[in-house]
Structure 1
Amino acid sequence: MRPPVLDTDTPESFWDRHWTGMTRPSSGTPTAVLARLVAGRLAGRAVDLGCGRGDDVVWLARQGWQGVAVDVSPAALKAVEQNAQAAGVAEKITCARHDLSQSLPDGAFDLVLSMFTHSPLDFDRAAVLRAAATLVAPGGLLLIAGHGSLAPWAWTDPEIQIPTAQDVADALALHDWKVVEIADYPREVRGPDGQMVEVLDCVTALERPGD
């Protein structure tokens, strides 16, 4: 459960409080769609935008990728460093603090991740995703996963209209890019009182044409 938003919160203070308050240990398990869609791709340079505690970027480093872990929260980036050290891949991961609505890291990447980068604060996710696409190197993959629906205990209004995977693709308007996957997947989640509900995960994966 995420903490409540305070009137005085900035993105850094909110997410620092969130990650500092996490009592469940980091799983070390990558997002399922990442493991599935990256299988068979040559390892290269990856950036994880909104990396949290870094399970995805640490897993990539274990597969031979060089990774840049990006988050607004210093607490999250500290957790990434600890997880990378424990996994023996600290030399393969660089941490960079960015507020994604304000800045992104420099460089071209063979894999650009935006995995569930939602926020209860004011956050133009569509604009961030369009900017993320500019980081993809020729032949590289843009992989976006997001919530397609919210559980009743979610941190925002469960009635809010959330874009589907196709909506995300349409907003990006990358018409010359190869569609790797555009799909909405049901998933069961367990609530704070043990209740189970079905939510949707939206996956938009597009490959930039090579030179």
Structure 2
Amino acid sequence: MTETPAPNAAEFWETRYRDGGRLWSGRPNALLVREATDLVPGTALDLGCGEGADAVWLASRGWQVTGVDISHTALERAAGHAAEAGVRDRTAWERHELGETFPEGSFDLVNAQFLQSPAPLDQQLVLRQAAGAVTAGGTLLLAMHANWPSWQTEPPLEAEFPTLRSVLDELALPETDWTVETLETVRSVSVSPEGVEGFRDNHVWRIRRGGDA
């Protein structure tokens, strides 16, 4: 039997955004709002920013945000969202195929919400690069799906979901330099495209780097 080749990541995401119309609600991820509301604004890096809702929310709260995505179409929509929200001057947009290239610089907040992909992605490498981009005194904020939604009786593809511990082990952050502030699994309502209501579990990590910012 011939194996179906893995989709090219850039083509996969560009096609999905270009041919599918707007994908997301335009509202920031709830776990970002929960975990970042009390942080003092500074510079932020939003990895896998998609159509820009998280970056725009951060910018509206005073952050200077760099949003990164693999899709040109997504970044164009993100820039448009920022302009409509009046935060164009507090946002910048960069195209990167994470795992291949990574933005330069260090940031007070590095945010990666649901950086999980059916297309090839060296997630372990990207997360380590994300941690390396956090400045002294800054925060690494991650959220990932922990399982399929409860209504998903036939998963569309094989997928390995992380555990809270496995991500910490992969990051291998020295305990002398980093403090885990949030390590939690959160259950939220999930509704299928057909309107079936269920739930989905998501993991969240908020980890602060030691030192003075």
Question: Could you say what secondary structure the match of 1:112 adopts?
Answer: strand
Shift of 1:20: 2.0
Provide Cα deviations, 1:70-93, integer angstroms capped at 9, x if missing partner. 001001100111100100111111
**Does the residue aligned with 1:21 lie in a helix, a strand or coil?**
helix
Which runs of 5 or more structure 2 residues have no equivalent in the other structure? none
**Cα distance in 2 for residues equivalent to 1:15 and 1:126:** 20
* Mapped partners of 1:25, 1:123: distance in 2: 20
The SS at the match of 2:108 is strand
Partner of 2:162: 163
Change (3 A) 1:73 1:134: same
Contact map agreement 1:120 1:155 (CA 8 A) in 2: no
Q: Residue 209 of structure 1 aligns to which amino acid in structure 2?
A: G
The number of aligned residues is 204
Report which stretch shifted further, 147-156 or 197-206: 147-156
C-alpha contact (below 8 Å) 2:190/2:200 kept by paired residues: yes
Matched, 1:115 2:113: yes
How far does the alpha carbon of each residue in 1:175-205 deviate from its partner, in whole angstroms, 9 at most, with x for none?
Answer: 2311110111112211122222222101011
| Contact residue 166 and residue 204 of structure 1 kept, 8 A | no
Specify whether residues 161 and 16 from structure 1 end up closer, same or farther in structure 2 by C-alpha distance, changes over 3 A only.
Answer: closer
Are 2:142 and 2:206, in contact at CA under 8 Å, matched by a contact in 1?
A: yes
Which segments of 5 or more consecutive residues in structure 1 lack a partner in the other structure? 1-5
CA RMSD across the alignment: 1.8
Q: Tell me how far 1:25 sits from its aligned partner.
A: 6.8
What pairs with 1:1-211 in structure 2 (closer than 5 Å)?
A: 9-24=7-22, 26-151=24-149, 152=152, 155-157=156-158, 160-174=159-173, 175-176=175-176, 177-211=178-212
Provide the TM-score with structure 1 as the length reference: 0.90
Alpha-carbon distance change, 141 to 8 in structure 1, aligned in 2, over 3 angstroms? closer
Q: Is the 8 A contact 1:28 1:59 kept in 2?
A: no
Cα separation, partners in 2 of 1:8 and 1:150, compared to 1, 3 Å? closer
CA distance in 1 between counterparts of 2:71 and 2:196 reads: 30
Percent identity, aligned pairs only, is 36
Provide closer, same or farther for how the CA distance between residues 25 and 150 of structure 1 changes in structure 2, counting only shifts above 3 A: closer
C-alpha separation in 2, matches of 1:64 and 1:45: 9
Aligned-residue offset at 1:52: 0.5
**Alignment match, 1:3:** none
CA shift in 2, pair 1:16/1:166, >3 Å: same
Q: Please state how far the C-alpha of 1:136 moved relative to its aligned partner.
A: 0.2
Q: 2:6–2:120: 8 Å Cα contact kept in structure 1?
A: no
CA shift digits 1:14-38 (9 cap, x unpaired): 1111122344575332111211221
CA distance in 1, matches of 2:70, 2:140: 20
What SS does the corresponding residue of 2:27 show, helix, strand or coil?
coil
Partner Cα distance (2:10, 2:23) in 1? 21
Which stretch shifts more, 103-112 or 9-18?
9-18
Does the CA-based 8 Å contact 1:179-1:206 persist in structure 2? yes
Deviation of 1:50 after TM superposition, in Å, equals 0.5
Matched position secondary structure for 1:114: strand
